[in-house]
Chains A and B, each alone.
Chain A
Amino acid sequence: NAGVTQTPKFRILKIGQSMTLQCAQDMNHNYMYWYRQDPGMGLKLIYYSVGAGITDKGEVPNGYNVSRSTTEDFPLRLELAAPSQTSVYFCASTGHNQPQHFGDGTRLSIL
């Protein structure tokens, strides 16, 4: 049972570089989410999607972009990496009236 798969698990970027964090789910969930977790803190919502072709901003969307071309995939794009984006990123998905299923996270450091 794959569930929610995030890649990569770890990444170090230089300031100004760009990258895409991948997220895929095999549970046919309509709803997908990206969170970031800073050290010692709870999770904050970056972007979410209620279905293919539909995305919306969460609490902290600045510096990020998303797309949802298929039900399964919900990539998160960082265009110009900044040190403030050093964090652990979690992708999650859910069906109707279910708890969110989380991926194992991507630990991103920007130096």
Chain B
Amino acid sequence: AQKITQTQPGMFVQEKEAVTLDCTYDTSDQSYGLFWYKQPSSGEMIFLIYQGSYDEQNATEGRYSLNFQKARKSANLVISASQLGDSAMYFCAMRELRGDSSYKLIFGSGTRLLVRP
């Protein structure tokens, strides 16, 4: 069965420094997608970045980048130049592909990031 593991329940980072949030996954599918979502204290789920299993380049979106290591089945999120507004829960999720190309997301348990001023 597909599974997402986030081993860091909580992380601290100093403002303006970079931080890496870990995510490992388990799947027997060859075609899959990996997502990161941010959930601030207000509760909404904000999409950050996506990596497809066949993408040759690591995904980047502004200060977010995804360190995708397919052989190790890891998809770590790197946030550069942390800001106070980055304090939130971060969820890694994997797309489970059904035959009709819809997909269900399987979520990890999340990492709470606190940015120190």
The chain A residues found within 8 Å of chain B, CB to CB, are 30-31, 33, 40-45, 48, 50, 58, 88, 90, 92, 94, 96-97, 99-102, 104-105, 107
Contact = CB atoms under 8 A, between A and B. Distances in A.
Interface of B is mostly: strand
Nearest to A100: B105
Contacts of A50: 98, 100, 102
What is the interface residue range for chain B against chain A? Answer: 20 to 34
21 contacts: A31-B103, A41-B110, A42-B93, A42-B107, A42-B108, A42-B109, A43-B45, A43-B91, A43-B105, A45-B105, A50-B98, A90-B45, A92-B45, A92-B105, A96-B101, A100-B35, A101-B47, A102-B37, A105-B43, A105-B44, A107-B43
Interface of B: 4, 35, 37, 43-45, 47, 50, 91, 93, 98, 100-110
B44 A42 contact: no
Contacts of A100: 35, 47, 105
A102 B50 contact: no
Contacts, number: 54
Contacts of B103: 31, 94
